[in-house]
Amino acid sequence: MNRRTFAVAGVSSLATLAAAPARIPIAIAGGSHSHASAKAAILRDSPEWDLLGVWEENPALRKKYESENIRPLSKEQVFGGTARVVAVEGPVKDHFAFSLQALESGKHVHVEKPPADTMEGMRKLVDVARKKNLLLQSGYMWRYHPGFNKVLEASGSGWLGDIYMVRGQINTLIDASRRPEWGMFKGGQMFELGAHLIDALVRLLGPPAKVTPFLRKQGAYKDDLRDNTVAVFEYPRALAMISSATLQPGAGPHRSFEVLGTNGTAVIRPLEAPVLTLDLAKAAGPYKKGTQTVPLPTYKRYEGDLADLAAAVRGEKKLVVSLDDELRIHQTLMAASEMS
Protein backbone atom coordinates (compact mmCIF):
# COMPACT_ATOMS: atom_id res chain seq x y z
CA MET A 1 0.00 0.00 0.00
CA ASN A 2 1.51 3.39 -1.02
CA ARG A 3 1.32 6.53 1.11
CA ARG A 4 -1.67 7.98 -0.77
CA THR A 5 -3.67 4.72 -0.59
CA PHE A 6 -2.88 4.43 3.11
CA ALA A 7 -4.04 8.01 3.73
CA VAL A 8 -7.31 7.48 1.82
CA ALA A 9 -7.95 4.24 3.72
CA GLY A 10 -7.30 6.04 7.01
CA VAL A 11 -9.74 8.84 6.17
CA SER A 12 -12.34 6.26 5.14
CA SER A 13 -11.93 4.38 8.43
CA LEU A 14 -12.26 7.58 10.46
CA ALA A 15 -15.41 8.54 8.54
CA THR A 16 -16.92 5.14 9.26
CA LEU A 17 -16.13 5.47 12.96
CA ALA A 18 -17.58 8.98 13.04
CA ALA A 19 -20.78 7.80 11.36
CA ALA A 20 -21.34 4.93 13.81
CA PRO A 21 -23.67 5.94 16.67
CA ALA A 22 -22.25 5.75 20.18
CA ARG A 23 -23.17 2.62 22.07
CA ILE A 24 -25.85 3.22 24.71
CA PRO A 25 -24.90 2.24 28.29
CA ILE A 26 -27.46 -0.08 29.85
CA ALA A 27 -27.56 -2.00 33.15
CA ILE A 28 -29.77 -4.91 34.18
CA ALA A 29 -31.65 -4.90 37.49
CA GLY A 30 -32.35 -8.50 38.48
CA GLY A 31 -31.45 -11.43 36.28
CA SER A 32 -33.81 -14.20 37.35
CA HIS A 33 -36.66 -13.74 34.87
CA SER A 34 -36.93 -16.50 32.28
CA HIS A 35 -36.26 -13.93 29.51
CA ALA A 36 -33.30 -12.27 31.25
CA SER A 37 -30.42 -14.45 30.10
CA ALA A 38 -31.33 -14.26 26.40
CA LYS A 39 -31.76 -10.48 26.55
CA ALA A 40 -28.45 -10.08 28.38
CA ALA A 41 -26.68 -12.05 25.63
CA ILE A 42 -28.22 -9.84 22.92
CA LEU A 43 -27.20 -6.68 24.78
CA ARG A 44 -23.68 -8.01 25.37
CA ASP A 45 -23.15 -8.77 21.68
CA SER A 46 -24.98 -5.77 20.20
CA PRO A 47 -23.08 -2.92 18.51
CA GLU A 48 -25.86 -0.57 19.68
CA TRP A 49 -25.63 -1.29 23.39
CA ASP A 50 -22.88 -1.11 26.01
CA LEU A 51 -23.95 -3.65 28.64
CA LEU A 52 -22.39 -2.46 31.90
CA GLY A 53 -23.47 -5.55 33.82
CA VAL A 54 -26.22 -7.09 35.93
CA TRP A 55 -27.24 -6.69 39.55
CA GLU A 56 -28.50 -10.02 40.84
CA GLU A 57 -28.48 -11.12 44.48
CA ASN A 58 -28.60 -14.87 43.85
CA PRO A 59 -24.97 -16.13 44.02
CA ALA A 60 -25.54 -18.95 41.53
CA LEU A 61 -27.07 -16.56 38.99
CA ARG A 62 -24.27 -14.02 39.52
CA LYS A 63 -21.75 -16.76 38.80
CA LYS A 64 -23.70 -17.81 35.70
CA TYR A 65 -23.67 -14.28 34.27
CA GLU A 66 -19.97 -13.88 35.07
CA SER A 67 -19.27 -17.11 33.15
CA GLU A 68 -21.00 -15.46 30.17
CA ASN A 69 -18.72 -12.40 30.37
CA ILE A 70 -21.34 -10.18 31.97
CA ARG A 71 -20.04 -8.17 34.92
CA PRO A 72 -21.76 -8.24 38.32
CA LEU A 73 -22.97 -4.84 39.52
CA SER A 74 -24.23 -3.49 42.81
CA LYS A 75 -27.69 -2.01 43.15
CA GLU A 76 -26.09 1.42 43.50
CA GLN A 77 -24.17 0.98 40.26
CA VAL A 78 -27.37 0.13 38.40
CA PHE A 79 -29.56 2.96 39.63
CA GLY A 80 -26.91 5.57 40.41
CA GLY A 81 -24.29 4.81 37.78
CA THR A 82 -23.69 5.85 34.20
CA ALA A 83 -26.37 3.71 32.54
CA ARG A 84 -28.83 5.66 30.42
CA VAL A 85 -31.23 2.70 30.43
CA VAL A 86 -32.14 0.12 33.07
CA ALA A 87 -33.60 -3.24 32.00
CA VAL A 88 -35.71 -4.69 34.82
CA GLU A 89 -35.41 -8.47 34.56
CA GLY A 90 -36.10 -9.80 38.05
CA PRO A 91 -39.21 -11.38 39.63
CA VAL A 92 -42.59 -9.90 38.70
CA LYS A 93 -43.13 -8.79 42.30
CA ASP A 94 -40.15 -6.41 41.93
CA HIS A 95 -40.99 -4.95 38.52
CA PHE A 96 -42.85 -1.89 39.74
CA ALA A 97 -40.39 -0.94 42.49
CA PHE A 98 -37.28 -1.33 40.32
CA SER A 99 -38.87 0.46 37.36
CA LEU A 100 -39.97 3.36 39.55
CA GLN A 101 -36.50 3.67 41.09
CA ALA A 102 -34.89 3.71 37.67
CA LEU A 103 -37.29 6.34 36.31
CA GLU A 104 -36.88 8.52 39.39
CA SER A 105 -33.11 8.23 38.88
CA GLY A 106 -33.56 9.73 35.40
CA LYS A 107 -33.08 6.52 33.42
CA HIS A 108 -35.12 5.07 30.56
CA VAL A 109 -36.69 1.71 31.41
CA HIS A 110 -37.27 -1.59 29.67
CA VAL A 111 -39.26 -3.75 32.08
CA GLU A 112 -40.35 -7.34 31.76
CA LYS A 113 -44.04 -7.89 31.55
CA PRO A 114 -46.20 -7.14 33.40
CA PRO A 115 -44.63 -3.84 34.51
CA ALA A 116 -46.76 -3.66 37.66
CA ASP A 117 -49.27 -5.82 39.53
CA THR A 118 -51.78 -3.01 40.08
CA MET A 119 -53.36 -0.39 37.86
CA GLU A 120 -52.30 2.28 40.34
CA GLY A 121 -48.68 1.16 39.98
CA MET A 122 -48.81 1.29 36.19
CA ARG A 123 -50.30 4.77 36.25
CA LYS A 124 -47.50 5.87 38.57
CA LEU A 125 -44.81 4.55 36.20
CA VAL A 126 -46.40 6.28 33.20
CA ASP A 127 -46.83 9.51 35.16
CA VAL A 128 -43.15 9.63 36.20
CA ALA A 129 -41.99 8.71 32.69
CA ARG A 130 -44.06 11.56 31.24
CA LYS A 131 -42.93 14.12 33.80
CA LYS A 132 -39.28 13.26 33.28
CA ASN A 133 -39.58 12.78 29.50
CA LEU A 134 -38.28 9.22 29.77
CA LEU A 135 -39.02 6.05 27.82
CA LEU A 136 -40.96 3.17 29.35
CA GLN A 137 -41.07 -0.04 27.31
CA SER A 138 -42.82 -3.22 28.48
CA GLY A 139 -41.23 -6.53 27.53
CA TYR A 140 -44.14 -8.26 25.81
CA MET A 141 -42.12 -10.57 23.60
CA TRP A 142 -44.30 -10.55 20.45
CA ARG A 143 -44.60 -6.81 19.79
CA TYR A 144 -41.97 -7.17 17.08
CA HIS A 145 -43.02 -10.63 15.88
CA PRO A 146 -43.31 -10.64 12.05
CA GLY A 147 -46.44 -12.80 12.07
CA PHE A 148 -48.30 -10.53 14.49
CA ASN A 149 -47.12 -7.48 12.54
CA LYS A 150 -48.53 -8.94 9.30
CA VAL A 151 -51.85 -9.68 11.01
CA LEU A 152 -52.03 -6.15 12.43
CA GLU A 153 -51.30 -4.76 8.97
CA ALA A 154 -53.96 -6.94 7.30
CA SER A 155 -56.56 -6.01 9.91
CA GLY A 156 -55.74 -2.31 9.94
CA SER A 157 -55.80 -2.15 6.12
CA GLY A 158 -59.21 -3.80 5.95
CA TRP A 159 -57.93 -6.80 3.98
CA LEU A 160 -59.66 -9.24 6.37
CA GLY A 161 -62.93 -7.30 6.21
CA ASP A 162 -64.72 -6.47 9.45
CA ILE A 163 -63.14 -8.33 12.37
CA TYR A 164 -65.76 -10.20 14.37
CA MET A 165 -63.74 -12.79 16.33
CA VAL A 166 -60.23 -13.20 17.78
CA ARG A 167 -59.02 -16.38 19.45
CA GLY A 168 -55.70 -16.92 21.16
CA GLN A 169 -54.18 -19.85 23.02
CA ILE A 170 -50.93 -19.92 24.96
CA ASN A 171 -50.29 -22.94 27.17
CA THR A 172 -47.23 -24.39 28.85
CA LEU A 173 -46.16 -26.96 31.42
CA ILE A 174 -43.86 -25.78 34.19
CA ASP A 175 -42.04 -27.64 36.96
CA ALA A 176 -43.92 -27.77 40.25
CA SER A 177 -41.13 -25.75 41.91
CA ARG A 178 -41.94 -22.73 39.74
CA ARG A 179 -45.69 -22.73 40.38
CA PRO A 180 -45.64 -20.81 43.71
CA GLU A 181 -44.01 -17.77 42.05
CA TRP A 182 -46.68 -17.72 39.34
CA GLY A 183 -49.35 -18.29 41.97
CA MET A 184 -48.44 -15.14 43.92
CA PHE A 185 -50.93 -13.17 41.86
CA LYS A 186 -54.67 -13.70 41.61
CA GLY A 187 -54.56 -13.77 37.81
CA GLY A 188 -52.27 -16.80 37.84
CA GLN A 189 -51.58 -18.15 34.38
CA MET A 190 -53.59 -15.42 32.64
CA PHE A 191 -51.49 -12.72 34.33
CA GLU A 192 -48.21 -14.53 33.73
CA LEU A 193 -48.49 -15.90 30.19
CA GLY A 194 -51.87 -14.86 28.78
CA ALA A 195 -50.56 -11.30 29.06
CA HIS A 196 -48.61 -11.71 25.80
CA LEU A 197 -51.77 -12.34 23.78
CA ILE A 198 -53.73 -9.65 25.62
CA ASP A 199 -51.03 -7.23 24.51
CA ALA A 200 -51.55 -8.32 20.89
CA LEU A 201 -55.35 -8.19 21.19
CA VAL A 202 -55.45 -4.62 22.52
CA ARG A 203 -53.03 -3.43 19.83
CA LEU A 204 -55.30 -5.10 17.27
CA LEU A 205 -58.77 -4.00 18.45
CA GLY A 206 -58.15 -1.49 21.23
CA PRO A 207 -59.51 -1.78 24.77
CA PRO A 208 -62.64 -3.93 25.12
CA ALA A 209 -65.98 -2.72 26.45
CA LYS A 210 -66.20 -5.64 28.88
CA VAL A 211 -63.93 -8.43 30.14
CA THR A 212 -65.15 -11.64 31.75
CA PRO A 213 -62.43 -13.90 33.22
CA PHE A 214 -62.70 -17.56 34.20
CA LEU A 215 -59.70 -18.38 36.37
CA ARG A 216 -59.57 -21.99 37.60
CA LYS A 217 -57.08 -23.97 39.66
CA GLN A 218 -57.43 -27.51 38.32
CA GLY A 219 -53.95 -29.08 38.45
CA ALA A 220 -53.28 -31.67 41.16
CA TYR A 221 -50.76 -29.49 43.03
CA LYS A 222 -50.70 -28.17 46.58
CA ASP A 223 -50.51 -24.50 45.66
CA ASP A 224 -52.76 -21.58 44.72
CA LEU A 225 -51.82 -21.12 41.06
CA ARG A 226 -54.85 -20.60 38.85
CA ASP A 227 -53.55 -22.83 36.11
CA ASN A 228 -56.49 -23.16 33.70
CA THR A 229 -57.72 -19.76 32.58
CA VAL A 230 -59.93 -18.17 29.93
CA ALA A 231 -60.97 -14.55 29.40
CA VAL A 232 -63.73 -13.28 27.09
CA PHE A 233 -63.41 -9.75 25.70
CA GLU A 234 -66.48 -7.96 24.35
CA TYR A 235 -66.26 -5.26 21.69
CA PRO A 236 -69.14 -3.37 20.03
CA ARG A 237 -68.88 -5.55 16.89
CA ALA A 238 -66.53 -8.35 17.90
CA LEU A 239 -65.74 -10.96 20.50
CA ALA A 240 -62.35 -12.29 21.58
CA MET A 241 -61.28 -15.20 23.72
CA ILE A 242 -57.84 -15.92 25.15
CA SER A 243 -57.03 -19.13 26.99
CA SER A 244 -53.91 -19.97 28.94
CA ALA A 245 -53.14 -23.07 30.99
CA THR A 246 -50.04 -24.54 32.55
CA LEU A 247 -51.11 -28.15 32.23
CA GLN A 248 -50.24 -29.05 28.63
CA PRO A 249 -47.18 -31.16 27.75
CA GLY A 250 -45.59 -30.17 24.45
CA ALA A 251 -47.61 -26.97 24.35
CA GLY A 252 -45.41 -24.96 21.99
CA PRO A 253 -46.71 -26.21 18.63
CA HIS A 254 -50.31 -25.61 19.76
CA ARG A 255 -49.91 -21.94 20.64
CA SER A 256 -51.95 -19.85 18.23
CA PHE A 257 -53.55 -16.51 17.40
CA GLU A 258 -56.54 -16.34 15.03
CA VAL A 259 -58.26 -13.28 13.60
CA LEU A 260 -61.56 -13.84 11.79
CA GLY A 261 -63.04 -11.21 9.48
CA THR A 262 -65.82 -11.01 6.94
CA ASN A 263 -63.31 -11.38 4.08
CA GLY A 264 -61.20 -14.10 5.61
CA THR A 265 -59.07 -15.46 8.40
CA ALA A 266 -55.48 -15.00 9.54
CA VAL A 267 -53.93 -17.70 11.72
CA ILE A 268 -50.49 -17.82 13.35
CA ARG A 269 -49.80 -21.42 14.41
CA PRO A 270 -47.38 -22.12 15.90
CA LEU A 271 -46.33 -18.77 17.26
CA GLU A 272 -42.65 -19.84 17.24
CA ALA A 273 -41.14 -20.57 14.82
CA PRO A 274 -44.04 -18.65 13.32
CA VAL A 275 -46.25 -19.90 10.51
CA LEU A 276 -48.86 -17.43 9.21
CA THR A 277 -51.74 -18.66 7.04
CA LEU A 278 -54.32 -16.42 5.36
CA ASP A 279 -57.56 -17.63 3.80
CA LEU A 280 -59.36 -14.87 1.89
CA ALA A 281 -62.73 -14.84 0.16
CA LYS A 282 -61.47 -12.11 -2.19
CA ALA A 283 -57.97 -10.94 -3.04
CA ALA A 284 -56.89 -8.00 -0.89
CA GLY A 285 -53.71 -5.97 -0.61
CA PRO A 286 -50.74 -8.16 -1.59
CA TYR A 287 -52.69 -11.36 -0.94
CA LYS A 288 -54.58 -13.55 -3.41
CA LYS A 289 -57.95 -15.20 -3.00
CA GLY A 290 -57.86 -18.51 -1.13
CA THR A 291 -55.48 -20.15 1.32
CA GLN A 292 -51.82 -19.12 1.37
CA THR A 293 -48.82 -19.30 3.67
CA VAL A 294 -47.30 -15.86 4.10
CA PRO A 295 -43.49 -15.67 3.93
CA LEU A 296 -42.01 -14.21 7.12
CA PRO A 297 -38.54 -12.79 7.73
CA THR A 298 -36.15 -14.47 10.15
CA TYR A 299 -37.26 -13.77 13.69
CA LYS A 300 -35.46 -13.90 17.03
CA ARG A 301 -37.12 -12.97 20.29
CA TYR A 302 -36.19 -9.65 21.91
CA GLU A 303 -34.01 -8.30 19.09
CA GLY A 304 -36.78 -6.06 17.77
CA ASP A 305 -37.62 -4.72 21.23
CA LEU A 306 -34.06 -3.71 21.96
CA ALA A 307 -33.44 -2.26 18.48
CA ASP A 308 -36.60 -0.13 18.74
CA LEU A 309 -35.59 1.04 22.22
CA ALA A 310 -32.09 2.00 21.05
CA ALA A 311 -33.52 4.06 18.17
CA ALA A 312 -35.95 5.79 20.55
CA VAL A 313 -33.17 6.58 23.06
CA ARG A 314 -31.17 8.16 20.22
CA GLY A 315 -34.22 10.25 19.32
CA GLU A 316 -34.60 8.72 15.86
CA LYS A 317 -38.20 7.53 16.37
CA LYS A 318 -40.92 6.93 18.91
CA LEU A 319 -41.49 3.53 20.50
CA VAL A 320 -43.94 1.28 18.65
CA VAL A 321 -46.25 1.28 21.70
CA SER A 322 -47.09 4.63 23.29
CA LEU A 323 -47.55 5.29 27.00
CA ASP A 324 -51.30 5.63 26.44
CA ASP A 325 -51.33 2.20 24.80
CA GLU A 326 -49.28 0.78 27.68
CA LEU A 327 -52.02 1.95 30.05
CA ARG A 328 -54.80 0.44 27.91
CA ILE A 329 -53.00 -2.90 27.65
CA HIS A 330 -52.35 -3.03 31.39
CA GLN A 331 -55.91 -2.10 32.26
CA THR A 332 -57.21 -4.92 30.06
CA LEU A 333 -54.74 -7.37 31.62
CA MET A 334 -55.81 -6.37 35.13
CA ALA A 335 -59.46 -6.94 34.25
CA ALA A 336 -58.70 -10.36 32.69
CA SER A 337 -56.71 -11.29 35.80
CA GLU A 338 -59.38 -10.16 38.31
CA MET A 339 -56.79 -7.73 39.67
CA SER A 340 -58.35 -4.39 38.65
Q: What is the pLDDT of residue 17?
A: 47
Q: What does the pLDDT look like over 81-92, one tens digit per residue?
A: 999 999 999 999
Model confidence at 280: pLDDT above 80: yes
Over residues 173-182, mean pLDDT:
90
Q: What is the pLDDT of residue 260?
A: 98
Beta bridge partner(s), residue 139: 112
Q: What is the C-alpha separation between 188 and 227, in angstroms, rounded? A: 6
Q: What does the pLDDT look like over 156-166, one tens digit per residue?
A: 999 999 999 99
Main-chain dihedrals φ then ψ at residue 123, nearest 5 degrees? -60, -40
Judge whether 115 and 138 are in contact, CB under 8 Å: yes
Model confidence at 2: pLDDT above 70: no
Q: What is the pLDDT of residue 22?
A: 92
Q: Residue type for 275, please?
A: V
Q: What is the pLDDT of residue 6?
A: 42
Q: What is the C-alpha separation between 184 and 202, in angstroms, rounded? A: 25
Q: What is the pLDDT of residue 244?
A: 98
Q: What is the pLDDT of residue 20?
A: 66
Q: What is the pLDDT of residue 215?
A: 98
In sequence order, what DSSP letters do the residues of 218-261 get, joined into one string? -SSSSS----EEEEEEEETTEEEEEEEES--TT-GGG-EEEEEE
Residues 6+ apart with CB under 8 A from 54: 27, 28, 29, 30, 31, 36, 40, 62, 65, 70, 71, 72, 73, 89
Q: What is the pLDDT of residue 19?
A: 60
The structural domains of the chain, ordered by start, are 22-139 (3.40.50.720), 146-300+321-336 (3.30.360.10)
Q: What does the pLDDT look like over 40-76, one tens digit per residue?
A: 999 999 999 999 999 999 999 999 999 999 999 999 9
Q: What is the pLDDT of residue 10?
A: 53
Over residues 201-214, mean pLDDT:
98
Model confidence at 291: pLDDT above 50: yes
Over residues 223-239, mean pLDDT:
97
Q: What is the pLDDT of residue 284?
A: 98
- Of 110-114, 136-140, 177-181, 211-215, minimum mean pLDDT range: 177-181
Q: What is the pLDDT of residue 119?
A: 98
Q: What is the pLDDT of residue 337?
A: 98
Over residues 273-294, mean pLDDT:
98
Mean pLDDT in the chain? 94
